[in-house]
Structure 1
């Protein structure tokens, strides 16, 4: 009896693994590097993907859904709450968000609310508001943290650094899809990760991850490298340039 139960458990595990491998997600990007030049005003890249399905798999009752999440370099973000005191505004309280992405973009082929329940999205950290929630079961003991998280989303969205496109993914066929991603001119340099997840009926079926980077090129990169590698010399050169420009302006606009 014990051997029979063990065999049954092994068979169940094998069937579950086979079901998990029923779909395979293949993704590629139009470019893996965005170069910032002197006339840079932002850029756009496209994520392409293909859903490979096992021919022996029975057709699913629910359609395929794709959610693409792009995360930029991580920094410590600080949100301050201001309060008006008479004719001036003062900082009342603040919250720190350590190790938070400076750039966060979410795209899906249809609204996430139509794919799954809000509880499922929150538990799976799916969507713009849930992407950076702590993992696991946690209880927020700070009643004001939700307000500060909402303020952070609003501020970053106003800077075009956070965004959600509920129909930003387009299925070109039953298995081929694409998702254009706009990179704002204010997006920081560094490495970006792109997480693509395939869903059906709110259940994740396959996942693929790729990346790209935003770098400076030309005179901008040389100046940035000089300021970092030879900071003292760069400071002296900046002071001398400012003095020279000030003297030149005084000569040009001097009144006789």
Structure 2
């Protein structure tokens, strides 16, 4: 959590410096639901963000997870012959989830913009970070959804919007920051943010608690379950074989 708070503070500072001295109209937002429960049958969900941005600006939605240090094996050819692990590559302080939603109206390359993944790149080499992004996109943890922001009207100098952002099925329990950025002429006019909480319930919560509080018992149970599953499958295949 301290790292998450530091990341949010750093991002807020960067965004604040990008704001004009006087924003036209403050951004307003409502997040529903602000609590997502993750049970046995959880297969992903969607959250709805509604609100207003200053007229003439576009609404950009971002969902950020807690920052973590990521370590990956670096593969290469040893003596020019065999592919082997030749070391490790570390990426520091990147959020475990980075989801972004836009109106899809502009031709901007949001994925490679300073508001998207590049905003948390730090000093990581380009090729390393590109490979990291590909891995995270495969699991649905990093994604840019274009066309999810819909505008519902303009009145009194503000523009109303509604957006739905997809939450991946592999989402972890934790606290996430959901932001609405008002962007005009490629610059941030104003922003607002709320927290999204995800919570394990039912069997996933029980297993997580068991693994944390009774790691030895959890390990033994996992081995027993694996053995029983193997025996069950062998019996099934034997029965099928004898049936022919």
Shorter-chain TM band: 0.7 to 0.9
- Give the 3 Å change call, closer, same or farther, for CA 93–178 of structure 1 in structure 2: farther
Matched, 1:31 2:15: no
| Whole-angstrom CA distance in 2 between matches of 1:84 and 1:28 | 52
Matched, 1:160 2:148: no
Alignment-derived partner of residue 12 in structure 1: none
Matched, 1:127 2:116: yes
1:73–1:188 CA contact under 8 A, matched in 2: no
Unaligned runs of 5+ in 1: 1-16, 54-59, 135-139
- Give the 3 Å change call, closer, same or farther, for CA 103–18 of structure 1 in structure 2: closer
Question: Secondary structure of 2:120's match?
Answer: coil
How far does residue 31 in structure 1 lie from its aligned partner after superposition? Answer: 0.3
Q: TM-score, normalised by structure 2?
A: 0.73
2:20–2:189 CA contact under 8 A, matched in 1: no
Q: Deviations over 1:127-147 (max 9, x none)?
A: 23x12033xxxxx5x8xx110
Question: Secondary structure of 1:24's match?
Answer: coil
Q: 1:218 pairs with 202, 227, 236, which one?
A: 202
- Give the 3 Å change call, closer, same or farther, for CA 241–152 of structure 1 in structure 2: closer
How far does residue 75 in structure 1 lie from its aligned partner after superposition? Answer: 2.0
Question: Secondary structure of 1:234's match?
Answer: helix
Question: Secondary structure of 2:119's match?
Answer: coil
Question: Secondary structure of 1:20's match?
Answer: coil
How far does residue 185 in structure 1 lie from its aligned partner after superposition? Answer: 1.1
| Whole-angstrom CA distance in 1 between matches of 2:92 and 2:146 | 27
- After TM superposition, the structure 1 stretch with the greater mean CA deviation from structure 2, 76-85 or 169-178, is 76-85
| Whole-angstrom CA distance in 2 between matches of 1:159 and 1:83 | 24
- Give the 3 Å change call, closer, same or farther, for CA 226–180 of structure 1 in structure 2: same
Q: 1:97 pairs with 91, 102, 106, which one?
A: 91
- Give the 3 Å change call, closer, same or farther, for CA 97–247 of structure 1 in structure 2: closer
- After TM superposition, the structure 1 stretch with the greater mean CA deviation from structure 2, 70-79 or 209-218, is 70-79
| Whole-angstrom CA distance in 2 between matches of 1:166 and 1:222 | 37
| Whole-angstrom CA distance in 1 between matches of 2:38 and 2:141 | 16
| Whole-angstrom CA distance in 2 between matches of 1:240 and 1:182 | 36
Alignment-derived partner of residue 101 in structure 2: 107
Q: 2:169 pairs with 185, 188, 192, which one?
A: 185
| Whole-angstrom CA distance in 2 between matches of 1:230 and 1:32 | 31
| Whole-angstrom CA distance in 2 between matches of 1:223 and 1:84 | 41
Unaligned runs of 5+ in 2: 1-18, 240-244
Look at both structures and tell me which one has the larger radius of gyration over its CA atoms: 1
